[in-house]
Copies of this chain bind each other. A is one copy, B any other.
């Protein structure tokens, strides 16, 4: 146990996860936005069971990070807010998934007691 690769700061999957993306609610938002091309605020709100205030803030975090595009307009006379994933958002989500898969593999392989 000699050669410590100190130039390898962190090889652990969790260190490759981005907190903006990994956060539970935002991961949900990105997932839904990935599945549907364009999502309504209200749909997200009920699909993820959030308060409007909570959702509103998570959206601005995602927008500020450049992961989603937010589009405000009207449906008839009612104001609406739609959400689309940006290319960066799509990449970020894929990256999250890739790291989660690595993590899951580690968990499922290396157990002292493993059972599916």
A88 interfacial contact with B, CB 8 Å:
no
Q: For this complex, into which size category does the number of interface residues on chain A fall?
A: 35 or more
Number of copies: 2
User: Could you show 18 A-B contacts with beta carbons less than 8 Å apart?
Assistant: A10-B49, A12-B32, A12-B48, A12-B49, A14-B27, A15-B49, A19-B24, A31-B103, A31-B107, A35-B109, A35-B111, A35-B113, A36-B112, A37-B112, A40-B116, A43-B116, A93-B107, A97-B107
Name A's B-contacting residues (CB within 8 A): 9-10, 12-15, 17, 19, 22, 24-25, 27-28, 31-32, 34-37, 39-40, 43, 47-49, 90, 93, 97, 100-101, 103-104, 106-116
